[in-house]
Structure 1
Amino acid sequence: MRKLYIIGIGAGNPEQVTVQAIKAMNTVDVFFLLNKGDDKSDLVQLRKEICERYIDRKTYRFVEIADPERDPSISSYPHRVDEWHQRRAAIYEELISRELGEEGRGAILVWGDPSLYDSTLRIIDQLIERGRVSFEYEVIPGITSVQALAARHKIILNGIGQSICITTGRNLAATKLRDEADNIVVMLDGNDSYKDLVDQDLTIYWGAYVGTEKEILLAGRLGDIADTIRMTRSEARASNGWIMDTYLLRKSAL
């Protein structure tokens, strides 16, 4: 039967790819790549460089296809994402059926880890539910941007006996999570939601492109460096065409 590997490849540093991931990659015939456009071609190129670096047998190939965009006409965010996932599922269904033989091995290389704010496993569930193409699959974990952020800042994510909340910028802006957790890791924050918390006694540990040659790290009292982070983020995004950043907000010790 066909087999599909969902492989976490870390937050950007090729040396974060695990031995387990390398072993799996060396069995793969076809790597499926969703291209998000010229602005994010770095993300495709890094995946190709990882394969070149770690795969001994050079008989594998890439199948690259444009990633569909979310439909801005759908006002509901959950519905907009679900419709996007359905179109992605249809793409993968066609690719697996067309490009993998009955005993073929395919792989999807996931930035970070497949379990944390990534849609690939939801799409695989949809493929299985549709039942139009048969395959088995295996999930291989990777280093998340959260782990990479903590390592680069040389910090522990939690204080002794404290909680950690991992959420998105959208949720940080819309909920009271910030009042309930001592340490909040924020991902996918396109609107600089931290700027609304500058009046609180918080420390921020921020990182963009963590683990890559473009890495930027900033840390300090939120009220003092929020503007610096906002300007740095805006300039980096304009310069590179894309940005991946993560940050930790921590309440000051009593």
Structure 2
Amino acid sequence: MIDLTLIGIGTGHPDHLTLQGVRALQEADLVLIPMKGEDKEDLAGLRLEMLARHGAQAVQAVFDLPRRDVEDPDYLGAVERWHDAIAQAWAAQIARHLPGGGRVALLVWGDPMLYDSSLRIAARLDTRVRVIPGITAIQALCAAHAMPLNSLASPVVITTGRCLRDHGWPEAAERVVVMLDGACAFRDLPPAGLRIWWGAFLGLPQQILDHGPLAEAGPRIIAARAEARAGHGWIMDCYLLSREG
């Protein structure tokens, strides 16, 4: 039998791993290390650094991650097919390295429960699944800006760049956290009366922060994001929008 543990690792800093996560790594027989392309090799490097920092002795299976067909107009269907392919890739590595069963670990950016598909992919496999929560990008963003997530006695909406672009400002929301936004969807909002707090590479040495009225900070963020992505080959960022007053 295969036991699969999904371990949240925050935004990639080795210290974001919880003590529970460290123990799970040290007990694992196999750690899956997906590669997302040559321009994102340092993502795998951050995972490998965590394993070395915390004394993990497991076999490290480095493999190429299947890519989603971004040209497919059937977005949800394309994602389901992509997840099927990833599950097959996981299964192939597990069968190769642990034919007799054992404990497998997968390091997940952020937390497996928030805008991450590892749990959905794991459900396709014949494994027992355990989840160890991690620091979310939202926690790291608010900590970096030393600010509370919510305004007093008010709810917070968490959404994606795609939803913000397609549907605009969520009804009745005072604060909106936006994730998975590769196109800076905030540029399509009327900026009057909105403030933004943005962060990229949160918690890492290359961390970038900006905040202010959307009309002023928005163009700066767009430029900084493009420059950072060109320099690193990848970027992970998120932001919080709030109605002023």
Alignment TM-score, normalising by the size of structure 2: 0.96
Matching residue of 1:131: none
Q: List per-residue Cα deviations over 1:36-91 (Å, max 9, x = no partner).
A: 01111111001011011112x63x22111111111234211111111100111111
Matches within 5 A, 1:1-254: 1-55=1-55, 58=57, 60-128=58-126, 135-253=127-245
Q: List per-residue Cα deviations over 1:8-31 (Å, max 9, x = no partner).
A: 111122111101101111101111
After superposing on structure 2, the runs of 4+ consecutive aligned residues of structure 1 that deviate more than 6 Å are none
- Residue type of the partner of 1:70? R
- The whole-number CA distance in structure 2 between the counterparts of 1:136 and 1:41 is 29
Give the total of aligned pairs. 245
Q: Check whether the contact 1:71–1:80 (CA below 8 A) recurs between aligned residues.
A: yes
SS of structure 2 residue aligned to 1:190: coil
Q: Check whether the contact 2:25–2:51 (CA below 8 A) recurs between aligned residues.
A: yes
SS of structure 2 residue aligned to 1:161: coil
Structure 2: give runs of 5+ residues left out of the alignment. Answer: none
Q: Check whether the contact 2:169–2:189 (CA below 8 A) recurs between aligned residues.
A: no
Q: Check whether the contact 2:12–2:47 (CA below 8 A) recurs between aligned residues.
A: no
- The whole-number CA distance in structure 1 between the counterparts of 2:217 and 2:202 is 19
Alignment TM-score, normalising by the size of structure 1: 0.92
SS of structure 2 residue aligned to 1:218: strand
- The whole-number CA distance in structure 2 between the counterparts of 1:35 and 1:209 is 18
- The whole-number CA distance in structure 2 between the counterparts of 1:181 and 1:214 is 32
- The whole-number CA distance in structure 2 between the counterparts of 1:232 and 1:89 is 35
SS of structure 2 residue aligned to 1:127: coil
- The whole-number CA distance in structure 1 between the counterparts of 2:99 and 2:223 is 50
CA drift of 1:198 comes to 4.3
- The whole-number CA distance in structure 2 between the counterparts of 1:127 and 1:221 is 46
CA drift of 1:34 comes to 1.1
